[in-house]
């Protein structure tokens, strides 16, 4: 989240009035994330205060957005702890503010766990598997916009900012990922809508109970294993060495498999997708770091972390044979 477009108190109240939600009490810009403008709202409703998140979309178009909102709506209706978009009296979930498409969703309880325990990892794994299964028949489908085609297009954009060793790594990894994508094992990977950005700061907990999954605006249809790899790279790797932290890694995978067992091709390509997930975020963070957009609140991430993860996965491939995935009690 970030603030690229300033929203005034009266403008936010006008939106709330059109949605028949009540009186705005507070309006606070959020510095988290990097893609969209986000505000936290407190709204008086019937003697109580309800909390919402207002998002103005800076890059996604009005044609692309219905997929994300319909996906969240379906998951919320099926009992997943995700934000549920607020509809207007006509049932529309996409609104407009400051000339930009906008959405308003309920703010979920809890806080992010930036140093997760194995119990947190297990809760995330089970929720991710439930999310995949619940999203399979989403009425709207849209390809993952930060997938392989984007990696191929973005590689030449970031090359001028890399040294010779980094440039060689990028070219080699793109060639490898294109080769993997042409394999029969890759074609057999189960697919469906994925979150695609389920980092620790996009998940909320109340103690060890997972209470919220949010920020679906990188979601799209892709292989489920890639989504799992994004989580493993962030939740279960040592932040300095990028070596898997065995207990968290095992807990996340075992809990996921309790809900949806991995297929043979998924087991075969786990390390390839861990590399793919590292490449994706190395590319995007390099872009954001060297080609930043203007924003009044913005936190850019260091791209070197995922370069390190990628190098580690190449040097020391992860296989499931080294992990006992029997759930612990």
Please write the tens of the pLDDT for every residue from 20-79: 999 999 999 987 656 889 999 999 998 899 999 999 999 888 899 999 999 999 999 999
Token code pair at residue 13: 């109240």
Alpha-carbon distances of 304 from 99, 166, 253, 285, rounded to whole Å: 36, 10, 26, 9
State pLDDT tens for residues 77-116: 999 999 999 999 999 999 999 999 999 999 999 999 999 9
Q: What is the CATH number of the domain that holds 264?
A: 3.90.1200.10
72 and 155, same domain (yes or no): no
The answer to whether residues 50 and 163 belong to one domain is: no
CA distances from 290 to 33, 218, 277, 310 (A): 16, 21, 20, 20
For the chain, the average pLDDT equals 93
Q: Are residues 294 and 151 in the same domain?
A: yes
Task: Give the number of domains in the chain.
Answer: 2
Q: What is 250-283 written as a DSSP string?
A: HHHHHHHHHHSPPPHHHHHTHHHHHHHHHHHHHH
pLDDT at residue 124 in the model: 98
302 pLDDT tier (thresholds 50, 70, 90): confident
| Per-residue pLDDT at 1 | 43
Tell whether 124 and 102 lie within a shared domain. Answer: no
Q: Are 98 and 170 in the same domain?
A: no
Cα 323 from Cα 251, distance rounded (Å): 10
Distance CA 273, CA 118 (A): 22
Instruction: Evaluate if pTM is beyond 0.75.
Output: yes
Domain match, 172 and 296 both? yes
> In percent, how much of the chain has pLDDT > 90?
85
Same domain membership, residue 101 and residue 122: no
Based on the fold, state whether residues 166 and 294 are members of the same structural domain.
yes
Q: Report if residue 327 sits inside a domain.
A: no
Same domain, 137 and 234: yes
In a domain, 272, yes or no: yes
Same domain, 288 and 169: yes
At 147-187, the pLDDT tens digits run 999 999 999 999 999 999 999 999 999 999 999 999 999 99
Domain that holds residue 52: 9-106
Asked if the structure places residue 245 within a domain, the reply is yes
- Nearest CA to 105 out of 60, 41, 44, 57 is that of 41
Distance CA 326, CA 329 (A): 10
Give 241-253 pLDDT, tens digit per residue. 999 999 999 999 9
CATH number at residue 29: 3.30.200.20
């Amino acid at each position: 989240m970030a603030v690229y477009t300033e929203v005034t108190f009266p403008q936010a109240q006008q939106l709330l009035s059109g949605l028949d939600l009540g009186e705005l009490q507070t309006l606070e810009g959020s510095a988290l994330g990097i893609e969209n403008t986000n505000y936290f709202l407190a709204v008086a409703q019937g003697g109580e205060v309800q909390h919402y998140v207002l998002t103005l979309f800076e890059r996604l178009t009005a044609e692309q957005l219905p997929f994300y909102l319909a996906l969240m709506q379906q998951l919320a209706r099926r009992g997943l702890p995700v934000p549920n978009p607020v509809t207007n009296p006509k049932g529309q979930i996409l609104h407009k503010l400051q000339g930009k498409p906008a959405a308003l969703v309920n703010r979920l309880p809890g806080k992010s766990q930036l140093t997760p325990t194995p119990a947190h990892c297990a809760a995330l794994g089970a929720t991710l598997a439930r999310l995949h299964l619940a999203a399979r028949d989403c009425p709207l489908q849209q390809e993952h916009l930060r997938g392989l085609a984007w990696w191929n297009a973005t590689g030449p954009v970031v090359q001028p900012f890399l040294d010779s060793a980094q440039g060689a790594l990028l070219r080699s990894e793109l060639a490898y990922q294109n080769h993997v994508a042409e394999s029969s094992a890759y074609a057999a990977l189960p697919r469906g809508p994925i979150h695609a950005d389920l980092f620790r700061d996009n998940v909320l907990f109340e103690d060890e109970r997972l209470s919220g999954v949010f920020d679906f605006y990188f979601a799209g249809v892709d292989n489920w294993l890639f989504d799992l790899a994004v989580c493993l790279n962030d939740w279960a790797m040592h932040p300095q060495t990028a070596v898997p932290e065995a207990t968290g890694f095992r807990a996340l995978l075992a809990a996921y498999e309790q809900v949806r067992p991995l297929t043979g091709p998924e087991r075969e390509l786990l390390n390839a997708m861990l590399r793919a997930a590292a490449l994706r975020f190395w590319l995007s963070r390099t872009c954001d770091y060297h080609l930043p957009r203007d924003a009044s609140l913005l936190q850019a991430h260091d791209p070197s972390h995922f370069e390190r993860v990628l190098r580690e996965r190449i040097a020391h491939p992860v296989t499931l044979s080294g992990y006992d995935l029997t759930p612990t009690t």
